[in-house]
Structure 1
Amino acid sequence: MDALLEWNISADESPGDWEVLARACLRQGDAETAALACTILMKAEHLHGDLAITHANRLVKQGMAGAAIRLLTAQFGDRPTNNAAKQALVRAWIEENPRVALDLFDAADDEPDLALLRVDTLRALDRLDEASSLIERLANRFPEDLRVLTRQARIEERTRNWAKAIGHWTRIMQDHPGQSTLARMKVMQLQARFELFEDAASSAAGLMWPKTADESVDLLTRIEVLQTALQSRAVRDLIIAAAAPAERGRHTPETWAQIMTMLLDSGHIGLAAWLTTQGLVFNAAAIELMQQARPLLGLSDLDLRNPAKAARITSPHVLLPALSDMARTQDNKAAADGKILLVNATLAAGGAERQFVLLVKSLLGAGLDPDRLIVALFSSADELGHGHFRVALEDLGVTIVNLQSQNASAPDLPPDYRRLLALMPRRLRADLLPLLGLCLKERPSVIHGWQDRSSIAAGLAGIMAGTPRIILTARNMQPNRRLLADGESYRGIYRMLCKAASVQMAANSEAGVRDYQAWLDLPEGTLSVLHNAIDTKAFPLLRTEPAGRGERPVRIVGVFRLAANKRPELWMRTVARLRARGRIKVQPKIVGSGPFLSEIEALKGELGLHDLVVAGNLSSAGAIYGDADILLLMSRVEGTPNVVIEAQCCGLAVAACDVGGVKEALMPGNLILPVDADPETAATLIEDWISGLDWSQQEANVLAVRNKYDVTKLADETLKLYRIDHAQVLV
């Protein structure tokens, strides 16, 4: 290449020489020089045939799918007949717009490579039932194909069948030694999701310090392990050490390009900017982004000489001053009687999602026209379990927008806005872009985020779009109590948003208000309380006679997700100890689903709870509470648990651990358990409580809980937050 450049032989005048160079470099394994030669040929519009396809695939890997699409369509058209070109174009469109990718397939595309790409396209569109069906057919044809096995595992992950996913990755680890590091990484990540932290730590140790010399661990794997373990400082130190002049040559340009992408995706933009000063080769898009970022972020050459100092510059924190300026200067561009945009992540089978639907119902009941309400969801895919309450919401007649189906571009944005968005962490950017586009299109007078993820995106979109009123409602305790990886990022954004005059933040309990105010270091009274509500028609009085009368046992139900935070093992061991004490006959039942189902089924035998029914997700009050006397809840963290309100509304007595807003939600005569109670202590307390329980109190409790959590109160409190009075409701 040096000779071609020195002799001033251009690709315009002599493309053949550059093509020979590119092919020779590919044969010799010099992918870096081959890519540079292909880039020169592409700019000269002389990159053709298999070289164009090879380069397009490389562009996709480097995050430049748009450039790959332009190259391929220029050479092969919108629907290539060349099989390799078609595959490359599908890969590019999966990244850019998977709906276009799906349109490229023909009914006859049954060749394995194209079939696997169809699976990938369906996965990108969240059409996971179709993807699963297709991959099962491929597994029958190619049972040992690693590509099929990995896709099976990834689909199980997406559908939250984490135990099955671990099984698939374990098989890959055993049967395909060359992929053991990837498989072990996936197992570790799934164990962390399960909150099986000891197992995850053991897997992490195996990855970081392999037992044999044959199990070498590359730099990318080490970084991913540390990121999973939330060890951001260790990630920083590892990358800085690897970029040292004596070490950097040990890693390929592709590795450094992937590291750059990982840093930008995770918000480590200062460290990414420092790497661009170290003579390492990255794709043009990353370098251009970092060059644009320097004036926006106030990065100086002095900052970038010190990698430790540069590493402290992270997104979105460093962007907050610019966003704060937007909050002060943005014009309000909506009418006071405009639309109300309600934002939630999903409509999964959860208490917060049930309350979200009830919020919409209460606003309509207060007189709001359905045409004024827009509900935006990050996902409502049934295959992911995200559509549980969709029919109930559709029946209310409001507009529902699936943000995943929206164009991810935000029109009419000034350049500074676009640069800000490009510098945000990938997950936040993916949420914000379509929501911001919707805000700019609809110009609502109110945007209301429900739960942390939705509130963060709604708050930022509202600030950038100039929405007059922005409501952020927390439905639990603050994120760090729930071990959320994004907790610290959320903290900075929340603090910035709460300074804006257009923003009001709320939580669903006094305990939640205090918790968030302390976490955010905000003055008392900054947050409001927006209580939960109960649909009394959906949860009527079901239990009217004392429990345990005659020979009938006391029927104890647990209603919770089968996950670590809900502590299902503690629940089961407590019930087993209560039964073993012998004073009270017990009939147990669990309503719920989740990743711990197989562990619960195994524990039933160990504890002798052979009659324990695990009923899965149930919807109606009768199915959940109709054959129960007592609700037992032993969660580690809660906000205001809907099940506590619902059970009391149906006439059940409740025993629950003293977390979050539980104490506020319990009426007199119910039992508060210590959060750190062991099974024996909890069983003793429950036994004494049941023995002395005044069942006549439950009728008064039903009336009290219905009054406190009345739906009309939810509507009134919400309209006050919106600054809409009842005269405006009917506009």
Structure 2
Amino acid sequence: MGNVVSAGEIRRSVVDLCNQGQFFAAHMRLIDNGLDAHTHPSLWELIERRAAEAGDEALAHRVRREILAADVASVDTVLNEARYEIEQGQLGRARALLARTFGEEPENSEARILLGIALAPEDRAAAIHLLDDAQNGSEVETLWAVDAFRDLGELKRAMRLCQTAINRFPMNAMFRNRLGWIAEGVGDFETAIAAATMNLNGDPDTKVRALNRLVRLHRRLGDKPKAMVYAAQLLREAGSPVQKLALARTLGQTDLLYGIVGSLPSLHARGGLAEGEARKVLTFLLDEGEIGLVLFLWREGVPIEADMRRVLMRKGFGEARADLPRSIEDAMGIRSPEVLFPLLPEASDLPLPSDWSPPLRDTDKIMLVNSVLAAGGAERQFLMLARALVAGGIDPDRLHAALFSLERDRGHGHFEDALRATGIHVHDLSAQDLSSVVMRDHQQDTMALLPGRMRSDVVALYGLAQQLKPAVIHGWQDRAGVASGLVSQLLGIRRTVISARNMRPRKRGDEADWIAHSVYKDLVAMPSVAITANATEGARDYEDWLDLPRGEISILSNAVDETVFFPTPNPPPSDGPIRILGVFRLAENKRPLLWVDTMAALRNRHGLDIAPRIVGAGPLAGELQRRADQLGLHDLRLDPPVEDPSAIYRDADVLVLLSQVEGTPNVVLEAQACGLPVAACRVGGVAEALHRDGPGGGLLLEAEIDASAAADAIAQWLPTALAADYRPRVQFILDRYSNAALVDRLLDLYGATP
């Protein structure tokens, strides 16, 4: 008769095996000796816990499933399994497990947070309700809740929770990191800077991340000297090549980026560039579109992943070592997406037409694409686009608006309700299920080699367009225009319209303007593609940039809805102060500080009784308020953007716009449609948009002007403009910027028959 092994001996053996890291053997010891989870749950939980601590999640999961099947799971085991299912994307399993164990309203704080995360895709309100209690949770639970709110797009909730957590867990830099990211996302730059500054005293990695954020924030605020101070410090602190490359790109210092890349082969030869770091470098460069630099480092012996190498070779790069660039200079001209063109006919599923026929049919779908629906003029015109098409007789069911983001807390959904009210379909591309997207191998290769900033846009838009099969795709502004142009080629969409910005990307500070340039150059030669601008000045700038003859970029003028923007009949005379209105984003190119300085000069130098008001938001809000206080403009009224601004014009006497950069500013058109006189600087399409005839004509100021000169000109012009008949201004807008004119132009661009 064989020796009988006692339960105590098995227990000691299992503990010893776990101490040696042999978790699978310990698991088998229990099974072979008949010690199941029902009779010996503590031993099974020991193996589960120790395996999970060692990172063997697969075995830990298997053991937990057996414990759960035996109905002897402890609270910790249930929570660990729920966390595992969430990490694996099995939210339904996690949801069922948590609800079965803890109910729909768990008292256990960790269970509440996990159930909130699991419920998020299915029941947003219930998820928020559960996660709102996380302020009293543990350090780890609170961090989970912050991330869950971020994933839900509830950035303000995430921000409030971070601020509470920073006070409760002052040593945890992760809360300050997240607070900085979230605050920047919602436009609270002062909080973002404060959070990053606090992390300057953290560990080296935390400090580097904080310096990177401070460089980016101060560049966005237009404070280049301060950005350079932090950049210099970052160069001293940054330990990894990727951190230095990211800094060079953030600063727009292409020469610095090339210099860093040029130093990497010798660094690798000395053993100073580990394989993992080399992989990060090559991934970063590929995401930046720098294919040539990737090929150069490959030639120089820097290790490249097999998948990346195969994709490059399938696209014709690196088939022979001799063909790889020998120097940085050789590599500089090999950039994506330019080197991927022409995409057709190799990459297309459907052949594009050689001309504009056949015409748009009554059943054809039209896809309108924009980045976001923020409180800006371009976004308002996107709304007008949809309204005009519906008013022009297009069935709303044929119209689909696709937005890259509609996150309300980031200001991306300001016009969403108004857009949905038109009856058209509205799609949030950030919420698209990409699992059903089907691409051929060569199309997948093309996606893999696109710059990272384009790749996610194109893949999401491709998936929706593949599903809807539109006959027309209309990209609004450059980001959406680039993605729409590529998708139209890849899917063979019959007609493509791209409505460009008010000036080429580099003039707006985009150092990577070769991306849009290469796409537009490929598209503009196709008869099925039309590129438009909303003003002659903008069209000429794009034509110069793309080396096109005059008239190649056509004009698609803005429109004003005369049913919304109209003057108050017989306005009563105002006996109070002159109500001066500014409507603009509080950003550097709108010159809000010049606006405030001009108001102070009108009051202090010219003695005008004024009531200044600004409607807008942006990164300079804090600085603007401080400047107003310093100048004694304590009565400055600063209001956030509104969805329907028509009422604010009727509560004003004059509009003043001192932007340095504009296209055709909607506020100039809308104010005049409401009967207001307008003073604005000669930039972009302002001169075209401004009624200047007769005593009630607008005031066109010089583009480069200081507050004293602006105030002098406005003070001299204002009395006559206010006393003049408002009706010529209104008629000017009706004649040139009507909805009917926009509809006719759109239908012509889309190929609709009269």
For normalisation by structure 1, the TM-score amounts to 0.83
Alignment pair present for 1:259 and 2:281? yes
**Residue 570 of structure 1 aligns with which residue?**
594
Cα gap change, 1:463 to 1:222, in 2 (>3 Å): same
Tell me whether 1:457 sits opposite 2:449 in the alignment: no
Asked whether 1:537 is paired with 2:563, we answer yes
What is the alpha-carbon distance in structure 1 between the residues aligned to residue 169 and residue 569 of structure 2? 55
Question: 1:609 matched to which residue of 2?
Answer: 633
Deviation of 1:231 (Å): 1.9
Q: Using the TM superposition, give the Cα deviation of residue 434 of structure 1 relative to its aligned residue in structure 2, in angstroms.
A: 1.3
Quote the residue 2:13 is aligned against: none
Deviation at 1:665, TM superposition (A): 0.4
Q: Distance in 2 between matches of 1:622 and 1:628?
A: 11
Deviation, 1:590, is 0.8
In structure 1, the partner of 2:272 is: 250
Counterpart in the other structure of 1:181: 208
- Residue 196 of structure 1 deviates from its aligned partner by 1.7
Mapped to 1, the partners of 2:20 and 2:466 lie a distance apart of 50
| Corresponding residue number in structure 2 for 1:412 | 438
Counterpart of 2:321 (choices 294, 298, 301) is 301
Cα drift, residue 577 of structure 1: 1.6
Query: How far did 1:439 drift?
Result: 1.1
- CA shift digits 1:265-285 (9 cap, x unpaired): 211223223334444445xxx
| Equivalent residue number for residue 554 of structure 2 | 528
- Amino acid of the residue matched to residue 599 of structure 1? E
Determine which of 352, 356, 362 is the counterpart of 2:382: 356
Q: Which residue of 1 aligns with 2:515?
A: 489
Structure 2 contact 85–93 (Cα < 8 Å) conserved: no
CA-CA distance at 1:584 after TM superposition: 3.1
When residues 125 and 561 of structure 1 are mapped into structure 2, their CA distance, relative to the original with a 3 A threshold, is: same
Greater Cα offset, 613-622 or 631-640: 613-622
Give the match for residue 582 of structure 1.
606
Residue 657 (structure 1) shift: 0.6
User: Residues 223 and 351 of structure 1: is their aligned pair in 2 closer, same or farther, counting only changes over 3 Å?
Assistant: same
Query: Among residues 165, 189, 196, which one is paired with 1:169 in the alignment?
Result: 196
Provide the aligned length of Structure 1 versus Structure 2.
660
Aligned with 2:737 (options 685, 694, 709): 709
Q: 1 CA distance for matches of 2:280 and 2:55?
A: 16
Gaps of 5+ in 1: 1-18, 24-47, 57-68, 727-731
Structure 1 residues 542 and 108, CA gap change in structure 2 (3 angstroms): closer
Q: Secondary structure at the match of 1:343?
A: strand
CA distance in 2: counterparts of 1:295 and 1:314, whole angstroms: 16
> In structure 2, what is the Cα distance between the partners aligned to 1:327 and 1:710?
38
Q: Structure 1 stretch 101-110 or stretch 637-646: which is displaced more?
A: 101-110
More moved, 155-164 vs 577-586: 577-586
Q: 2:621 maps to what in 1?
A: 597
What is the letter of the counterpart of residue 240 of structure 1?
G
Task: Report if the CA contact (8 A) 2:581-2:655 is conserved.
Answer: yes
Q: Which residue of 2 aligns with 1:35?
A: none
Describe the shift of the 1:327–1:281 C-alpha distance in structure 2 as closer, same or farther (beyond 3 A).
closer
Q: Is the 8 A contact 1:366 1:715 kept in 2?
A: yes
Q: Secondary structure at the match of 1:342?
A: strand
Query: How has the CA–CA distance of structure 1 residues 310 and 707 changed in structure 2, closer, same or farther, with 3 Å as cutoff?
Result: same
Partner of 1:193: 220
| Post-superposition offset of 1:179 | 2.4
Measured in 1, the distance between the counterparts of 2:436 and 2:285 equals 24
Name the SS for the 1:617 alignment partner.
Answer: coil
Question: How many angstroms apart in 2 are the aligned matches of 1:53 and 1:292?
Answer: 37
| Contact 2:359-2:753 at 8 Å conserved across structures | no
Alignment of 1:89-128 (within 5 A): 106-107=111-112, 109=114, 112-128=139-155
SS in 2 for 1:376: strand
1:71-113 deviations in Å (ceiling 9; x for gaps): 99889889995977876775675xxx99999999842645533
Question: Aligned in 2, Cα 1:70/1:301: closer, same or farther, shift over 3 Å?
Answer: farther
The one-letter code matched in structure 2 to 1:152 is L
Q: Are 1:573 and 1:679, in contact at CA under 8 Å, matched by a contact in 2?
A: yes
Q: Is the 8 A contact 1:297 1:318 kept in 2?
A: no
- Report the residue type matching 1:316 in the other structure: P
SS at match of 2:315: helix
Other structure's SS at 1:518 match: helix
Deviations 1:333-364 (A, max 9, x none): 99844101111111111111111111111111
Partner of 1:508: 534
Residue among 714, 720, 731 paired with 2:748? 720
> Which of 658, 674, 685 does residue 713 from structure 2 map onto?
685
Q: Please state if 1:289 is matched with 2:308.
A: yes
Q: 1:281 to 1:488 in 2, by over 3 A?
A: closer
Quick check: 1:342–1:375 contact (8 Å CA) kept in 2? yes
Q: Report the counterpart of residue 204 of structure 1 in structure 2.
A: 231
1:637 alignment counterpart:
661
Distance 1:181 1:103 in 2: 42
CA-CA distance at 1:388 after TM superposition: 1.0
Distance 1:72 1:363, change over 3 A: farther
Alignment of 1:386 with 2:408, yes or no, is no
Indicate conservation of the 8 Å contact 2:51/2:60, yes or no.
Answer: no
Q: Which of residues 704, 723, 735 is equivalent to 1:695?
A: 723
**Do the aligned partners of 1:242 and 1:248 also contact (CA within 8 Å) in 2?**
no
1:421 and 2:447 matched: yes
Aligned to 1:473: 499
Structure 1 partner of 2:246: 224
**Corresponding residue for 1:139?**
166
CA–CA distance in structure 2, aligned partners of residues 259 and 636 of structure 1:
38
Task: Report SS of the residue matched to 1:429.
Answer: helix
* CA distance in structure 2 between the partners assigned to 1:694 and 1:376 by the alignment: 43
Seen in structure 2, the aligned counterparts of structure 1 residues 438 and 178 have a Cα distance that, compared at 3 Å, is closer
- Please say if residues 369 and 480 of structure 2, whose CA atoms lie closer than 8 Å, have aligned partners that are also in contact: yes
**SS state at 1:635 partner:** coil
- C-alpha distance in structure 1 between counterparts of 2:234 and 2:465, whole Å: 44
Identical-pair percentage = 35
Aligned to 2:673: 649
**Which position in structure 2 is the counterpart of 1:44?**
none
Q: Pick from 310, 322, 330: which aligns with 2:331?
A: 310
SS where residue 561 of structure 1 aligns? coil
Helix, strand or coil: the match of 1:436? helix
Q: Is the 8 A contact 2:536 2:555 kept in 1?
A: yes
Instruction: Give distance in 2, aligned partners of 1:149 and 1:400.
Output: 35
Q: Given the two structures, how large is their TM-score scaled by the length of structure 2?
A: 0.80
Kindly provide the amino acid, as one letter, of the partner of residue 648 in structure 1.
Q
Q: Relative to 1, partners in 2 of residues 1:334 and 1:621: Cα closer, same or farther, differing over 3 Å?
A: closer
Work out whether residues 410 and 433 of structure 1, in 8 Å CA contact, stay in contact via their aligned partners in 2: no
Mapped partners of 1:232, 1:99: distance in 2: 47
Amino acid at match of 1:399: H
User: 1:98, 1:125 within 8 Å by CA — same for their partners in 2?
Assistant: no
CA deviation profile, 1:605-635 (whole Å, cap 9, x unmatched): 2212122111222334454212211111111
Matched residue type, 1:570: L
- Does the 8 Å contact 1:476/1:639 carry over to 2? yes
TM superposition shift of 1:492: 1.1
**Aligned partner letter, 1:257:** R
CA RMSD of aligned residues (A): 3.4
The match for 2:543 is 517
CA contact (8 A) 1:90 1:117 kept: no
**Against the structure 1 CA distance between its residues 409 and 260, is the aligned structure 2 distance closer, same or farther, given a 3 Å change threshold?**
farther
